[in-house]
Chain A
């Protein structure tokens, strides 16, 4: 059973499943405090009164809903697919992961919204909850196309207006765009709860090319002629270094991260982040 759990107790609005900083009546005991005029009589702990002859009011943590934002990196690099399964692109996998998160949020009664970024700019589904919101998100996900490069920062300004402090923002993407990482760091620094679900292809992990190929960066159009077998070891080394560098950088900013692979189940990064023993 997966649960979307923010690490920071947040939210002061509504009743939900998440720990909140506002105390009050509820199930989970938080503390006793001295009676103040105006408190309901039924909140007084009479057993404690019998022991101490003073009025104490029993306070519980209220559970509050959170807002989950899905930030999809649909730049052109999301159109890449493994050679073994050319029909299934990185964007397809990202859609699947996003749909999983939407289901979880729906079960938990959380509000959720979608932020999709591609060369055209930011496409936004405002946060809401309920089954109809799921349909809206699915519709937007379905229409999403992988193209272009990461847009300029000023085109992403609506994002700052929508994602409020304390919201949970799940970034789903390849994590190759420097601007994207910088954005996540800024969001995390501005007290947003940020996690990165990095979706990588199996080709990027294994580099199974053994003949000559013309590799092309889908975003910059840059090309490189290389013999797969000859450059594999160097590439794997550099790629692993880059990933660990990114990992430590994200950790320094307090951003949780997990990696999903195109040839592995959809929920694998979610299990790593929110499953038993994983995440925060």
Chain B
């Protein structure tokens, strides 16, 4: 048995209360009629002797307080370690009966939330399989062998490689998956009003290199780009105050101004000269491509890597969600030991407390009755 909140045992100090009350109650002696008082002579002051009368009642009261303290301390029972049985999980969508025909024994489950038994209908779930595997690994007691049947390619991958605390028999079943048609929207540039023709010319070329047809019309006057668009400031002077505010609130902008000291270099040319800087301003991102934006005079603009570097900086490609299942076989790693399932005997403790309280009331009232009789 363990205590989930051992500090609750400090409530045991409350047990001092009935003890003190019990002892303090005795101090003023009840006067005792004694007619032969004249032959008594007080020699020694009476000693304060610790004496418990009604000790069964006192004991019950102390037990009651102790039970309450125990309730506060939240005791938990650690059950006996369950016998390790081999688990086999099958990802929904695979043909479980065909897989099972080869091996009847073991505990067959669907790899779905709640891990339903294989006899039930395959659940339609869109939960990530690696995430479910991690959950299962944390739930299963150490030593349970795990066999996993997953489709190939394996969907639902996330940033981290699958790491489990046990060796896993990893079986892959080829299953055609329609690749998700997610056409990533390319970044939309929006040039400020007074952009020079050479700058517009270069920006058009940049757009065409990304595959976007036309540059939207320049902003009128000192209007701000819309949310989602990428503001372009082709002059080398600082951004206007309104643009700065917009940038700080989460906008993204490309500027021809000098980069600040803390900016990081994104791209260098073949000789190693930095071409493109990036810096965070508030919630926004500011890319700096210093120099005059004239492709005929500025060699940096003609750098072959520049369009791709700009595109990557403005829009990172989505991580792959689908991978070769055989490559995604989980690593074995030392994960923090899974906490064994604990059972809190709170209802029983509450029942004990109620019974103790009833006993205490009964004893207290019956002893009072006895005195009255």
Chain A residues engaging chain B, CB cutoff 8 angstroms:
77, 79-81, 83, 90, 174, 176, 203-204, 209, 211-220, 222-228, 230-231, 234-235, 238-239, 242
Contact = CB atoms under 8 A, between A and B. Distances in A.
Interface centre among B33, B35, B40 (most CB of A within 10 A): B35
Contact of A226 (B31, B33, B36, B42): B42
Contact of B35 (A174, A211, A226): A174
Contacts of B44: 226-227, 230-231
B72 to A, nearest CB: 38
A214 B39 CA distance: 15
B338 to A, nearest CB: 61
B32 A216 contact: yes
B181 interface: no
Name the 7 nearest CB pairs between A and B, nearest first: A212-B46, A77-B35, A214-B29, A227-B46, A217-B37, A216-B31, A238-B39
Contact of A80 (B35, B38, B41): B35
A228 B49 CA distance: 12
B35 to A, nearest CB: 3
Contacts, number: 90
Interface string B12-42: 0000000000000000011111111111111
Given A211-B46, A212-B46, A224 B40 contact: yes
29 contacts: A203-B34, A204-B35, A204-B36, A211-B46, A212-B29, A212-B47, A213-B46, A214-B31, A214-B32, A215-B32, A215-B34, A215-B37, A216-B33, A216-B37, A217-B35, A217-B37, A217-B38, A218-B35, A220-B37, A224-B40, A224-B42, A226-B43, A227-B45, A234-B41, A234-B43, A235-B39, A235-B40, A238-B39, A238-B41
Contacts of A217: 34-35, 37-38
Interface residues of B, number: 22
Nearest to B46: A212
B39 A239 contact: yes
B51 interface: yes
Contacts of A238: 39, 41
A128 B48 CA distance: 57
Chain A binding surface, main DSSP class: mixed
Contacts of B33: 77, 79-81, 216, 218
Interface centre among B37, B42, B47 (most CB of A within 10 A): B37
A156 to B, nearest CB: 20
A157 to B, nearest CB: 26
Nearest to A226: B42
A231 B44 CA distance: 8
Given A212-B29, A213-B29, A216-B32, A225 B38 contact: no
